[in-house]
């Protein structure tokens, strides 16, 4: 991602909104019915009442709630919480009491969970809302359904859908749990450890300029194609996606050769598409600390810096990774002049190509 493209005040593309034929009162009723159905009931408790029922201190409950990504009403008498919220607080407290989650990791774990679930919910809710509104429009064409009719309709519609969504999420989570334990080395005491990995970034060149020229639906298609393609290539190459942020993907691999193959496959895939922006890729090898689904350490910063200075359609690797690839015979690794980049004054990168090209 170009430095000029990382502007925090860039609002991004407008997201198209569904325009249902239902009136404002019906839409408000849909929201209330959706909340009751998803949360399993109405909001019944204030913050203090929910904390007392869960058996935790009010201050701790507030910090947990905010760590999960939810706002707290400044009015202490505001009725905000459901029975489900109370049970969730009990569950978190039980995890800490059991020793499964260390007390000092309670808030970081809550933040990580909240951020992951928030992103998942963002796209799911647009699908569910569209589905509900379309079905309501069909069922009550030209009429305004009552609150009770909306409640029954939304409840029955979501009952099966939510069960399928939850079962699918649980299965995917369990599979990722197994895959993650297979590739992570954790000490017997669960202490933070680092291990050598290939860390890579790939981003689309000229993304911000592109967003100003194409419509929102075209941009949505482009991002979907980008995320789908990179996820497939990275998984097939025995790596894994750390995160995607719009036009950029961060990934990792345990083996230097796998990491290089992934980078080359990404470039080959996008270079063959006339309508796709060029990619640039940066790779580095070294110790990385895994923490709540993310990676940290100098290796991450080096890979990011290399991506930022790489030319469109090229792959830059750091010297540590270049040393491990030169003897494979599969790659051409050509050293270039030292670069002065932020925090790394004498970075000695190499251009990576396939030896077959």
pLDDT value of position 78: 92
pLDDT value of position 123: 66
pLDDT value of position 18: 42
The rounded distance, in Å, linking the Cα atoms of 94 and 184 is 26
Q: Where exactly does CATH 3.30.70.1230 map onto the chain?
A: 194-354
- Which H/E stretch holds residue 193? none
pLDDT per position as a tens digit, 45-67? 999 999 999 999 999 999 898 88
pLDDT value of position 187: 40
Cβ neighbourhood burial of 240 (10 Å; 0-12, 13-18, 19+)? middle
**Helices assigned H by DSSP within 237-315:** 256-271, 298-309
Cα 49 to the chain's mean position, in Å? 33
Superfamily of domain 194-354: Nucleotide cyclase, GGDEF domain (3.30.70.1230)
pLDDT value of position 222: 76
pLDDT value of position 169: 83
By C-alpha distance, which of 98, 96, 123, 94 is closest to 108? 96
**DSSP single-letter state for residue 274:** T
Instruction: Please list, in sequence order, all residues whose beta carbon lies within 8 angstroms of the beta carbon of residue 324, skipping any fewer than 6 positions away.
Output: 256, 285
The pTM assigned to this predicted structure is: 0.59
Ranges of residues in the chain whose predicted pLDDT is under 70: 1-23, 25-26, 123, 126-131, 141-142, 182-192, 208, 273-275, 340-346, 357
pLDDT value of position 15: 39
What values do phi and psi take at 305, rounded to 5?
-65, -40
The rounded distance, in Å, linking the Cα atoms of 151 and 145 is 10
The rounded distance, in Å, linking the Cα atoms of 223 and 235 is 18
pLDDT value of position 17: 44
3-state DSSP assignment of residue 124 = helix
pLDDT value of position 14: 41
By C-alpha distance, which of 198, 319, 293, 295 is closest to 252? 198
Tokens for 43, please give them: 């909001």
pLDDT value of position 201: 96
- Give the residues across from 253 on adjacent strands: 198, 239
**DSSP single-letter state for residue 330:** S
């Amino acid at each position: 991602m170009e430095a000029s493209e990382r502007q925090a005040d860039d609002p991004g593309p407008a997201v198209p909104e569904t325009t249902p034929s239902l009136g404002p009162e019906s839409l408000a009723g849909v929201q209330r019915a959706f909340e009751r159905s998803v949360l399993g009931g109405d909001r019944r408790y204030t913050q203090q009442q929910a904390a007392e029922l869960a058996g935790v201190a009010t201050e701790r409950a507030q910090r947990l709630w905010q760590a999960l990504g939810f706002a707290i009403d400044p009015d202490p008498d505001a009725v905000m919480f459901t029975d489900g919220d109370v049970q969730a607080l009990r569950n978190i407290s039980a995890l800490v009491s059991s020793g499964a989650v260390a007390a000092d990791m309670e808030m970081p774990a809550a933040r990580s969970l909240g951020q992951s679930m928030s992103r998942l919910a963002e796209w799911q809710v647009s699908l569910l809302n569209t589905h509900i509104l379309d079905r309501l429009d069909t069922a009550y064409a030209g009429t305004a359904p009552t609150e009770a009719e909306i409640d029954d309709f939304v409840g029955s519609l979501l009952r099966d859908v939510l069960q399928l969504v939850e079962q699918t999420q649980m299965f995917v989570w369990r599979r990722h749990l197994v895959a993650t334990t297979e590739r992570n080395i954790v000490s017997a005491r669960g202490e933070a450890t680092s291990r050598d990995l290939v860390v890579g970034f790939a981003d689309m060149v000229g993304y911000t300029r592109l967003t100003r020229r194409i419509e929102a639906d075209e941009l949505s298609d482009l991002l979907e194609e980008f995320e789908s393609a990179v996820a497939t290539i990275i998984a097939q190459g025995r790596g894994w996606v750390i995160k995607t942020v719009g036009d950029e993907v961060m990934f990792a691999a345990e083996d230097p050769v796998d990491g290089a193959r992934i980078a080359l496959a990404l470039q080959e895939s996008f270079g063959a598409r006339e309508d796709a922006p060029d990619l640039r890729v940066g790779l580095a090898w070294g110790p990385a600390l895994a923490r709540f689904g993310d990676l940290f350490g100098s290796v991450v910063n080096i890979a990011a810096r290399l991506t930022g200075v790489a030319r469109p359609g090229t792959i830059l690797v750091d010297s540590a990774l270049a040393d491990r690839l030169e003897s494979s015979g599969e790659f051409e690794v050509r050293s270039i002049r030292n670069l002065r980049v932020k925090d790394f004054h004498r970075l000695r990168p190499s251009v990576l190509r396939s030896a077959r090209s």
